Chains A and B, each alone.
Chain A
Amino acid sequence: MGWFENGWGLSLIVFLPLVGAAVVLAVPRARETAIKAIALGFAAASFVVSVIATVAFDFGSAGYQFGADTSWIPAIDSRFHIGVDGISLPLVVLSTFITLLCVIYSWNHWPEPHNPKAFLVLMLVLATGMAGTFVALDLVLFFIFFELVLLPMYFMIGIWGDRNPMRLPGFKRPVETRLYAAIKFFLFTLFGSAFMLLGFLALYFRSGNGGLPRTFDIEALSARGAEGQLFTGTFAFWVFFALFLGFAVKVPMWPLHTWLPDAHTAAPTVGSVLLAAILLKLGSYGFIRIALPILPEEAKAWAPVIAILAVIAIIYGSLACLAQTDMKRLIAFSSVGHMGFVMLGISTLTEVGINAAIVGMVAHGIITGLLFFLAGSIQHRYHTREMARLGGNQKILPRLGGILGFAAMASLGLPGLAGFWGEFMALLASYNPFAGANLALFRSAMVIGAIGTVLTAGYLLWMLQRVNLGEIPEEWREKSFRDADGYELGAWVPLVLATLAVGVYPAIVFGTTNDSVQRLVARAFGG
């Protein structure tokens, strides 16, 4: 397995979907089954390789594994440096896992205007971008993968998205929601990325000071950052700010979140799932992998800001959820709150907090992905997402309703299910943040965050009550509905099982992350 461990394994995970996209492109558009089968095959292959990597992973070691480091663009000292450690492994597996489930779900659920070929090609390209971001250890490589996910998602939302017209200030005629959402998503993220790129470049040029060769390498930069000599003062402040903008937009952190409800609501089901499950994690992963270790002192200086914004997001997201009438938009806003817990964990700069953040990311990926699948299927059947019109879904579609109930319970952080650990450990971490932190601030954050869990329970139960429970409204009484079919269950049951598994035995994630987080925190923040 030498070849596997020398970067080929990871390259397979990352580039198999891209190869798949190329193959799908070569198949005539009319042969849909072949197209789907090929896409499924490549997505499954990528997932299987990631599982093999997990099995072969040495959980006793905190460093990077399966790495490759070859010359790539010598002119700017950028190298093709990839590798996984305990922090990125769960996210890599999560991304291949969710992609596979999305392909399965897509088998017979196509948003208009149909065209599976184009859709699957985009999805596979997206898969490459997502997995690539999590394995990249070179800033340029990271940036390329980070941006690679933008375009497919833009097209997914813009072409297959919600066609309902909406009114916009400054436009005389109503605009189709999908166009507005797609452009908003694209511009927002690009806005952040531009600053992020500036930050990367600044790091690159400053890394050469002091006689060292300039580098884009994350490992090397982290080592130099931990020494605390190179990146200091105003320079570090602005670089952190630039990185913060780039990642915060993606997370998204309040008040840079407003692209999220629109994009999630307008995107086709699979697009929403991928957005919520993986794309949001790119931002928080960026904080953990790049911003914290390279600029530890600035991270400490910024931590209170991040904590405050995270807590605002928790309360704000939950309150906004309570005012929603559109089920999908409610779930979208719930992401703001849940990612608030993730960021709260990160802002503590402790092992517990960062571990909690990763568990929170994985749990949110699984659970909110499931919720978006369900919202998509509900819309598919009722042709509406207005909760006021729904009701008695548990009676009409018992299987779908049951899974919706389960997902809502998991999302509100029921102990014993995956969502609990991220929330609880994040709160726990903010009681004892990093040395030198403002204790009063972080402990207030803990209490306010805890209040957020009550509001979370409130809006999810309210959503359940309006969608799942009650009598069946007149509108649907005479209609016949098909309960969840094999493909839907094929996509959902694995998510349900994963939620249970992580909930009952959280070492599935904690066991992987802890050593690497320990290494990261010890190097960056001492200890």
Chain B
Amino acid sequence: MTGMLSFAALSTAEGGHAAAAADPSGFLGLLAQGAWLIPVVPLLAVGLIVLFGKRLPFKGWELAEGALAFVALYSIALLIGNWVEPMAFERHVEIARVGLLPGGGSLVLEWGWVVDGLSIMMYFVVGVVGFFVFTYSKGYMKGDVRFTWFFAAFSIFAGGMLVLVSSPNTIQLIVGWELVGLASYLLIGHWWEDHANNAAATKAFIVNKVADLGLFLGVIIAALAVGSFRFTDLLDAVEAGDSALADVGVWVGLALFIGAMGKSAQWPFHVWLPDAMAGPTPVSSLMHAATMVTAGVYLLGRMFPFYQAEGFGAGLKPLILVIGALTLFLGGLVALVQDDIKKVLAYSTVSQLGYMTAAMGAGAYTAGLFHLFTHAFFKGLLFLAAGSVIHAVHSNNMSDMGGLRRFMPKTFWTFVIGSLALAGIVPLSGFWSKDEILASLYYDSQHGGGGLATFVLVLAVAGAFVTAFYMARAVNLTFFGKYQGAGHPHESPRVMTYPLIGLAALAAVGGLVNIPGAFPAFTDWLAARVHLPGDHHAAALNLGLAAIGTLAALAGIAIGTAIFGRQRATQRERDRFRIPLLYPLLEHKYYMDDLYDYALVRPIRGPLARATNWSNNVILDGVVNACGAAARRLSALVYGGLDQRGIDLGINAAAAAAGEAGGALRRVQTGKVQQYAAALFLGAVLLVVGFLIFG
């Protein structure tokens, strides 16, 4: 019985010797120790919603909303706490231990939670944006066929995302990573009666799964090199210049980056994100813009020292930079030609994620995460506002919209604030974060990044122009001009507009938490935990760069308004006219989808799968069946030829002779007793006579 106890006992281990700061004490300590509730509460809500949701007055919404409110409040408390005393706290709960023979020791699987600047920032984003989106969803999803299930799945996402960002080890990261993938699958395919939605959901899952191979392999290789799944052990090994890890450093870095590319929709894995817009708009807002897709950037941030260290991941920085730059520029261009307002925002998200990745590639930890932070607010807002429009006009297409600013003023103004923030107009949040990225790209180009970084900087500025251009287009087509759709659009109910206003406020002022030189609070939050080699947070605002970025944005807005601001004819033709060469390429999204479809999906699903099945049924089964048939043939030969005609011949002849004889003799047997008796006596008499004669 004693064995059982030790088996069941949960051992909590002291965490992170890498954590430079001591565990917080007093109330803060309690707060940090209780932070495990942050991922657990939404997951508990999932169970409760599934079991009891339908019986509740708000059909389970209140449970989801309550869980998110809890997360939001807790994260705010942690944020304040972190300000008071920077925290670097982690706890682990062992869930299994597996012996490792080569080198000895054990590989320990753990659950755990981290409370540090980076994770608190993510808690805050998920909790606060999530809270607004959940509130909004109550209005948006009203009357939906699966209202309760929607909130259950949405809570799976919230829980999974928090599992991900609270993870002190790579295993839990994978768990959270896949949980949000699951939630993404469930919610993209929320209206699964239509197979187009299912196809989009499956596509998102599979593309992510392909990229996850990188994550899996990276985690495996790193864990075996270090002997632990913990981030702290991994980063300690980096700091100590551990040779086992250095040997595989490039592979680990590459594999993890591939994983990040999938989740964060980096080129060429971005193809799933625009299709993911098949899901309800709140889902697009929270998952496919604000939080889930930033998980890859978060991973790069968590592993930042690894990617900075020479001999480990530093060699990959140019790759990360280039992928980010490609994504930000190519993604932005496609947004120019989309008619579906959600697709415009989706490609915009792809583009902005490219900015974050490029920042990480340039070694700008704070800049990348700061853009993640502000982007969550303004892009979440833009999606919710777009959802409000879609709710009103019952169409995703901007060709069905127009002139809506008169019908829905609140939506209009919040959308404009979000657009300006995205375009990077001072003093809205996007300005500060985009400027920070431009500054760090510039810094990189001056400090070892060379021509590549300069090129990326140019692309980033061009991207700023493109961003402003497509947002100007979207605003003009949606809210100005004449209404093109059917029916009478009207402003959304308050349950939807209040979250818009809340997010608009955050999108407006969110950037003020990190004013270079004046108020670098955000930098301080994030810097508390780990030594950040090479994170060159700009000490002061680079006015020249800021001016260039702002000018690019203003130019984009001006040109966009000039083209799309007046009464419009057919939009599609105008687009074609304006960008004749690029248009077909952009409209087909660089033919990436077709490439994947024809080069990978179809061959695997079609010929390859069929060939495998054929080889199974015809070749392998053919061999088996041929063995069976041959055995039958052989048995027929042995039985019919040898046995029946050979050996049995004599035996059968004897039997046949006996039968014939019996047939002949049976006539004697008449059944008449007296005849038998007569024969008997006759015999006796013959015997007597015989005796007399011969005896």
With A350-B102, A506-B109, A511-B96 known as contacts, the answer to whether A58 contacts B3 (CB < 8 A) is yes
Stretch at the interface among A16-24, A127-135, A214-222, A409-417: A409-417
Query: Which residue among A168, A415, A517 has the maximum number of chain B CB atoms within 10 Å of its CB?
Result: A415
A57 within 8 A of B: yes
A446 touches B193 (CB 8 A): no
Bound CA span A395–B224, Å: 46
A307 within 8 A of B: no
**Shortest beta-carbon distance from B426 to chain A in Å:** 43
B652 within 8 A of A: no
A96 within 8 A of B: no
Residues of A within 8 A of B609 (CB): 319-323
**Shortest beta-carbon distance from B176 to chain A in Å:** 8
Bound CA span A464–B690, Å: 100
- What are the interface flags for A443-460 relative to B under an 8 Å C-beta threshold, 1 for contact and 0 otherwise? 000110011011101100
- What are the interface flags for B204-226 relative to A under an 8 Å C-beta threshold, 1 for contact and 0 otherwise? 01100110010011001101100
A506 touches B95 (CB 8 A): yes
B179 touches A415 (CB 8 A): yes
B17 within 8 A of A: no
Bound CA span A188–B185, Å: 41
**Shortest beta-carbon distance from B164 to chain A in Å:** 11
**Shortest beta-carbon distance from A205 to chain B in Å:** 30
Bound CA span A184–B626, Å: 12
Bound CA span A268–B68, Å: 47
Residue of A with least CB distance to B197: A469
Stretch at the interface among A277-285, A372-380, A425-433: A425-433
Residue of B with least CB distance to A412: B209
Interface residues of A in 470-502 (CB under 8 A from B): 470-471
Residues of B within 8 A of A319 (CB): 604, 608-609, 611-613
B4 touches A59 (CB 8 A): yes
Number of chain A residues close to chain B: CB under 8 A: 78
A457 touches B198 (CB 8 A): no
Bound CA span A252–B496, Å: 56
Residues of B within 8 A of A47 (CB): none
Interface of B is mostly: helix
B202 within 8 A of A: yes
B679 within 8 A of A: no
**Shortest beta-carbon distance from B603 to chain A in Å:** 11
Bound CA span A187–B630, Å: 14
B182 within 8 A of A: yes
Residues of A within 8 A of B98 (CB): 351-352, 355-356, 425, 510, 514
A454 touches B192 (CB 8 A): no
A431 touches B224 (CB 8 A): yes
A507 touches B7 (CB 8 A): yes
B96 touches A432 (CB 8 A): no
- What are the interface flags for B84-120 relative to A under an 8 Å C-beta threshold, 1 for contact and 0 otherwise? 0000000000111111111000110100000000000
Query: Which residue among B7, B189, B206 has the maximum number of chain A CB atoms within 10 Å of its CB?
Result: B7
With A316-B612, A415-B179, A446-B217 known as contacts, the answer to whether A59 contacts B99 (CB < 8 A) is no
Bound CA span A321–B220, Å: 27
A465 within 8 A of B: yes
With A453-B209, A469-B195, A506-B96 known as contacts, the answer to whether A59 contacts B101 (CB < 8 A) is no
A424 within 8 A of B: yes
B175, B216, B221, B633: the one contacting A416 at CB < 8 Å is B175
Residues of B within 8 A of A56 (CB): 1
Query: Which residue among B3, B6, B213 has the maximum number of chain A CB atoms within 10 Å of its CB?
Result: B3
- What are the interface flags for B1-16 relative to A under an 8 Å C-beta threshold, 1 for contact and 0 otherwise? 1111011000000000
With A258-B621, A351-B99, A507-B94 known as contacts, the answer to whether A461 contacts B195 (CB < 8 A) is no
B220 touches A446 (CB 8 A): yes
**Shortest beta-carbon distance from A127 to chain B in Å:** 25
Residues of A within 8 A of B175 (CB): 415-416, 420
- What are the interface flags for B224-262 relative to A under an 8 Å C-beta threshold, 1 for contact and 0 otherwise? 100000000000000000000000000000000000000
B612 touches A57 (CB 8 A): no
Residue of B with least CB distance to A392: B193
With A60-B3, A458-B206 known as contacts, the answer to whether A521 contacts B620 (CB < 8 A) is no
B178 within 8 A of A: yes
Bound CA span A469–B188, Å: 13
B55 within 8 A of A: no
**Shortest beta-carbon distance from A520 to chain B in Å:** 11
A435 within 8 A of B: yes
Bound CA span A394–B189, Å: 13
Residues of A within 8 A of B182 (CB): 409, 414
A461 touches B612 (CB 8 A): no
Residues of A within 8 A of B185 (CB): 461
B192 touches A394 (CB 8 A): yes
Interface of A is mostly: helix
Residues of B within 8 A of A33 (CB): none
Residues of B within 8 A of A355 (CB): 98-99
- What are the interface flags for A352-376 relative to B under an 8 Å C-beta threshold, 1 for contact and 0 otherwise? 1001100000000000000000000
With A415-B175, A470-B198 known as contacts, the answer to whether A323 contacts B613 (CB < 8 A) is yes
**Shortest beta-carbon distance from B15 to chain A in Å:** 19
Residues of A within 8 A of B632 (CB): 170
Residue of B with least CB distance to A470: B195
**Shortest beta-carbon distance from A467 to chain B in Å:** 11
Bound CA span A198–B287, Å: 60
Bound CA span A457–B206, Å: 7
Bound CA span A264–B614, Å: 19
A108 within 8 A of B: no
Residues of A within 8 A of B7 (CB): 59, 507, 511-512
B624 within 8 A of A: yes
Residues of A within 8 A of B1 (CB): 55-56
A441 within 8 A of B: no
Bound CA span A523–B335, Å: 63
A210 within 8 A of B: no
**Shortest beta-carbon distance from B252 to chain A in Å:** 11
B99 touches A60 (CB 8 A): no
A235 within 8 A of B: no
Residues of A within 8 A of B2 (CB): 58, 60
**Shortest beta-carbon distance from B245 to chain A in Å:** 14
Residues of B within 8 A of A382 (CB): none
B95 touches A471 (CB 8 A): no
B95 touches A465 (CB 8 A): no
B195 touches A457 (CB 8 A): no
Bound CA span A37–B579, Å: 77
- What are the interface flags for B319-357 relative to A under an 8 Å C-beta threshold, 1 for contact and 0 otherwise? 000000000000000000000000000000000000000
B210 touches A454 (CB 8 A): yes
Bound CA span A350–B94, Å: 21
A470 touches B193 (CB 8 A): yes
A384 within 8 A of B: no
A72 within 8 A of B: no
A505 touches B224 (CB 8 A): no
A323 touches B6 (CB 8 A): no
Residues of B within 8 A of A76 (CB): none
A170, A188, A316, A351: the one contacting B101 at CB < 8 Å is A351
B666 within 8 A of A: no
B223 touches A428 (CB 8 A): yes
**Shortest beta-carbon distance from A85 to chain B in Å:** 13
Bound CA span A422–B308, Å: 34
**Shortest beta-carbon distance from B429 to chain A in Å:** 34
Residues of B within 8 A of A187 (CB): 628
A61, A323, A352: the one contacting B610 at CB < 8 Å is A323
With A351-B99, A510-B97 known as contacts, the answer to whether A57 contacts B3 (CB < 8 A) is yes
Residues of A within 8 A of B193 (CB): 392, 395, 469-471
Shortest 8 CB-CB distances between A and B: which pairs?
A323-B613, A59-B3, A322-B609, A170-B629, A510-B96, A319-B612, A351-B99, A469-B192
Other than the known A320-B609, A431-B224, what 6 A-B pairs have Cβ atoms closer than 8 Å? A170-B629, A184-B628, A316-B616, A355-B99, A462-B202, A510-B96
22 cross-chain CB contacts under 8 A: A55-B4, A168-B625, A169-B622, A170-B629, A170-B632, A261-B616, A323-B610, A350-B101, A352-B100, A415-B178, A424-B174, A428-B223, A457-B205, A461-B185, A461-B205, A462-B202, A507-B96, A512-B7, A517-B99, A521-B99, A521-B101, A527-B101
